[in-house]
Structure 1
Amino acid sequence: MTEVATPIQSLRNQPPAEASMPVVRASFFDLQGFELLQRVAKAFASSTLVPQAYQGNVANCMIALNLAERLRADALMVMQNLYIVHGNPGWSSKFLIASVNTCGRYESLRYEWKGDKGTDDYGCRAWTVEKSTGEKLFGVWIDWKMVKAEGWNKKNGSKWLTMEDQMFVYRSAAFWQRAYAPEISMGLPSSEELGDTYDAQRGVDGVYEVSVGELRQQRAANTAQNAEARAALSTPENVNAETGEILAGQPLPNAGMPPFSLQDALSAVQRGSFDEAADMARSFNQHDHDIVANAIDNQQKPAAERTRRQRTLE
């Protein structure tokens, strides 16, 4: 005799409702996915294990989670290796190297060295073998000649002066990855590269701007170069014995030229960056300095006063 299940038994035997629901993937572009992404981001933002840039910042965590999903990487690993340098995101070089080594398309990255330490020819390049073809893929050479030409060793606290071999490995690996597998970094540079470049950011008008602090450093470097050039030219045969004037030699590089123009200062005034404009104007001649000062004064006056003054002039 067949036993008939009671309604209560039937309900007990039914799978939970969640089992029949469609799988929701965290994403930006559908309601359920966005809500799930927010919930996961809030959990990460409340943790002290994530870097400071993500603690209490749900938006940053959401972007990192999206990157992790697209890279098929662990979210915490992405957060620990995505650095913000001067407001720009960049991957740590060790993360890029690990991503290349584990992507399955190439053998592990290797490094070839050339030259003697202490010379401009000393450097290295990254290379590996593509598994599908067996072809050796060589990156570009990174040597001290390039480092000096690009000014990577001139930044404050530059690691090129204290751990050059490690920096050569990082930079050559980043160049190799950008040449052969740019999809791994999703177009983002390495954090070491960001630290070796000027803080230039693109404004809403499409113009790239450099911070006043960087310009001050450049002006100081120009001043030092001028001093070295004057010292080189100040030999007895090139100097007037009575006046001390240099009589011969090539023109001094950047002599008397500030690293920014009057137009740069006026653009800063229009943006409302009055302190930045005033800082630039300190290196101008008196005429240009007065133009900037008047522009700042006019912009800082209340709108009603400017309107009243304009009507008076009319």
Structure 2
Amino acid sequence: MSFFDLQGFELMQRIAKAFASSDLVPKQYQGNLPNCMIALDMAQRIGANPLMTMQNLYVVHGTPGWSSKFLIATVNTCGRYSTLRYEWKGKPGDKDYGCRAWAVEKETNERLDGIWVTWEMVNAEGWSTKNGSKWKTMPDQMFIYRAAAFWQRAYAPDLGMGLQTEEELRDTFDAKRDGSGGYSVDLDTLRTVEPAAPQADRQEALPHEEAEVVDTITGEILQPEPEPARQQAKPQAQQQPANLDGLNFE
């Protein structure tokens, strides 16, 4: 199957049509041939089952993302690393309590450690304050999912094809599952910060502010002439008679 080969493209269309006609695929793929074709291409690139790919690829706020359990399964079955393991530190509830993922690279036998995900990070990023956040009900599971996602992006980004996880996208936006099987976001809830006052307001608040005047020859900073004086001097200059010396009117 291929997007850039005529026979491969026709084959992909036939297979995608079969998936689009099935009730076993998620709602966003039923009757949607383009979505099925994209999922087939992604499944082929990472060597995964097409149906499993469709069941674990979500759309949150218009952005596709994998489920964390799917990424963990992809890492564990790719054959390049040992099974992902998790290391914990601190006491539950403390700000330094957290988890990191690690695995051993089979080719070099080197242990690869992910970064620590702690309560301090969770609170600083605001992940636990989102509506319906799983950090409040199952924090240890969320620590595992986030630690695995960080490890995968650091050491095997090709397996995720540059996509974030569903849990990360939900932590970023207050997302709710819609009727099509994806996620939607109420944009009004994201507009919590009032915009800064425009520059024009500042100019209206300071109508008498004058810019510095610099002598182009000496470089001396000159004091600007007050506005009333300039307005009075201008009519006087216009009323001053012309110099008629030396002219002969005879």
Cα distance in 2 for residues equivalent to 1:38 and 1:261: 50
Query: 1:120 is matched with which residue?
Result: 95
Quick check: 1:27–1:34 contact (8 Å CA) kept in 2? yes
Q: How does 1:267-286 map to 2 (within 5 A)?
A: none
Specify the code of the residue in structure 2 equivalent to 1:126. A
Kindly indicate whether residue 75 of structure 2 is the aligned counterpart of residue 135 of structure 1.
no
Query: 1:80 is matched with which residue?
Result: 55
Q: Deviations over 1:109-152 (max 9, x none)?
A: 00000111111111100011111111111100000000000011
**2:141 corresponds to which of 161, 166, 169:** 166
Kindly indicate whether residue 64 of structure 2 is the aligned counterpart of residue 89 of structure 1.
yes
Cα distance in 2 for residues equivalent to 1:143 and 1:197: 17
Query: 1:30 is matched with which residue?
Result: 5
Cα distance in 1 for residues equivalent to 2:13 and 2:111: 44
SS in 1 for 2:64: strand
SS in 2 for 1:140: coil
Q: Deviations over 1:156-202 (max 9, x none)?
A: 00000000000000000000000011010011111111111148xxx
TM-score of the two chains, using structure 2 as the length reference: 0.72
**2:132 corresponds to which of 121, 145, 157:** 157
SS in 2 for 1:161: coil
**1:44 corresponds to which of 19, 25, 36:** 19
Where is the strand percentage greater, Structure 1 or Structure 2? Answer: 2
Specify the code of the residue in structure 2 equivalent to 1:97. I
Q: Deviations over 1:4-46 (max 9, x none)?
A: xxxxxxxxxxxxxxxxxxxxxx211122221111111111011
Query: 1:60 is matched with which residue?
Result: 35
**1:106 corresponds to which of 81, 89, 105:** 81
Q: How does 1:218-297 map to 2 (within 5 A)?
A: 218-219=192-193, 258=194, 260=195
Residues 51 and 262 (structure 1 numbering): CA distance in 2 closer, same or farther, change over 3 Å?
farther
Q: How does 1:7-22 map to 2 (within 5 A)?
A: none
* Alpha-carbon offset, residue 211 of structure 1: 6.6
Cα distance in 2 for residues equivalent to 1:212 and 1:156: 13
Cα distance in 2 for residues equivalent to 1:124 and 1:55: 38
Bigger relative contact order (CA 8 A; separation at least 6): 2
| Unpaired segments ≥5 residues, structure 1 | 1-25, 200-209, 220-257, 264-314
Kindly indicate whether residue 170 of structure 2 is the aligned counterpart of residue 195 of structure 1.
yes
Moved over 2 A (4+): 260-263
Specify the code of the residue in structure 1 equivalent to 2:154. A
Cα distance in 2 for residues equivalent to 1:115 and 1:156: 27
Alpha-carbon RMSD across the aligned residues, in angstroms, is 1.9
Query: 1:185 is matched with which residue?
Result: 160
Query: 2:237 is matched with which residue?
Result: none
Specify the code of the residue in structure 2 equivalent to 1:193. E
Cα distance in 2 for residues equivalent to 1:211 and 1:50: 26
SS in 2 for 1:76: helix
Quick check: 1:198–1:214 contact (8 Å CA) kept in 2? no
TM-score of the two chains, using structure 1 as the length reference: 0.58
SS in 2 for 1:127: strand
**What count of residue pairs does the alignment treat as equivalent?**
189
Cα distance in 1 for residues equivalent to 2:196 and 2:15: 49
Q: How does 1:293-304 map to 2 (within 5 A)?
A: none
